[in-house]
Amino acid sequence: MTTVLIVDDQPLQRFGFRMLLENNPDTSVVGEASSGSEAVRQTAELHPDVVLMDIRMPGMDGIEATRRIVASGGRSRVLVLTTFDGDAYAYNALRAGASGFLLKDARPQELLAGIRAVAAGDAVAAPALTRRLLDGFVQQPPPGAEAGADPRLEVLTGREHEVLEAVAQGLTNGEIAERLTLSESTIKTHVSRIMGKIGARDRVHAVIIAYEAGLVRPDRPGPAQS
């Protein structure tokens, strides 16, 4: 059973999420919050597995609430909701520590799958969406900087570099296994070790680190490309 805290300033939106989650046998709603400050307080009190976080709210927004929840060091993970996949707010929420994001028009099964994925520390819904978002907003090392020279990546083996690069490209464990001719369980073990070595909270954080280190270059025009 995955416990969820719903955070949204719109009562009807919260009601819709609650109806969906309470009618699903694998999820349980432990509370609702209408603002970022309420979300921080209730997360500290209720310790939900997943905080379903709206980003744009009056007062403390979802980005700051996410930052405070993650900084508290608790086990709760944040899944943010946004209106479109090129949203700078969604990128800032990932940088603040969110474990992933979904579009607000996602189908019910996509939302449920995203909640399960976040609770398990895995990629959320479609990795390609996360990559497209990072392509648009991530800050790359200066032109000429050696790709992958970030000290956080120096502890990785050659194989782990390959796996992290593939993860950052939006590939699933199965797709990485096929590319590297390894078993999916071996890839899962590699990913777990990589996250431990580089200090990543989860798979999404590992992707952000890979981008910031220059291990993967954005698919957009500009001097940062190689």
CATH of the domain at 40: 3.40.50.2300
The pLDDT value recorded for residue 151 is 83
Does residue 199 fall inside a structural domain?
A: yes
**Do residue 120 and residue 157 come from a single domain?**
no
The pLDDT value recorded for residue 221 is 40
The pLDDT value recorded for residue 69 is 96
- Domain hosting 174: range is 151-212
**Do residue 46 and residue 156 come from a single domain?**
no
Does residue 218 fall inside a structural domain?
A: no
Does residue 135 fall inside a structural domain?
A: no
**Do residue 14 and residue 121 come from a single domain?**
yes
Does residue 220 fall inside a structural domain?
A: no
**Do residue 161 and residue 204 come from a single domain?**
yes
**Do residue 77 and residue 178 come from a single domain?**
no
**Do residue 9 and residue 102 come from a single domain?**
yes
Does residue 156 fall inside a structural domain?
A: yes
**Do residue 25 and residue 66 come from a single domain?**
yes
The pLDDT value recorded for residue 127 is 54
**Do residue 115 and residue 165 come from a single domain?**
no
CATH of the domain at 178: 1.10.10.10
**Do residue 118 and residue 155 come from a single domain?**
no
**Do residue 43 and residue 104 come from a single domain?**
yes
Helix 203-212 and helix 127-137, axial crossing angle in degrees, nearest 10: 30
* Domain termination site, one of 75, 90, 125: 125
Does residue 142 fall inside a structural domain?
A: no
The pLDDT value recorded for residue 90 is 76
**Do residue 6 and residue 74 come from a single domain?**
yes
**Do residue 8 and residue 115 come from a single domain?**
yes
The pLDDT value recorded for residue 222 is 38
Does residue 117 fall inside a structural domain?
A: yes
Q: Tens of pLDDT along the chain (226 residues)?
A: 999 999 999 999 999 999 999 999 999 999 999 999 999 999 999 999 999 999 888 899 999 999 999 999 898 999 998 876 656 777 788 888 888 888 888 889 989 988 998 888 765 644 556 666 666 666 655 454 555 567 889 899 999 999 999 988 878 889 999 999 999 999 999 999 999 999 888 888 888 888 888 887 766 443 333 3
* Domain termination site, one of 107, 125, 143: 125
Does residue 130 fall inside a structural domain?
A: no
- Total domains present in the chain: 2
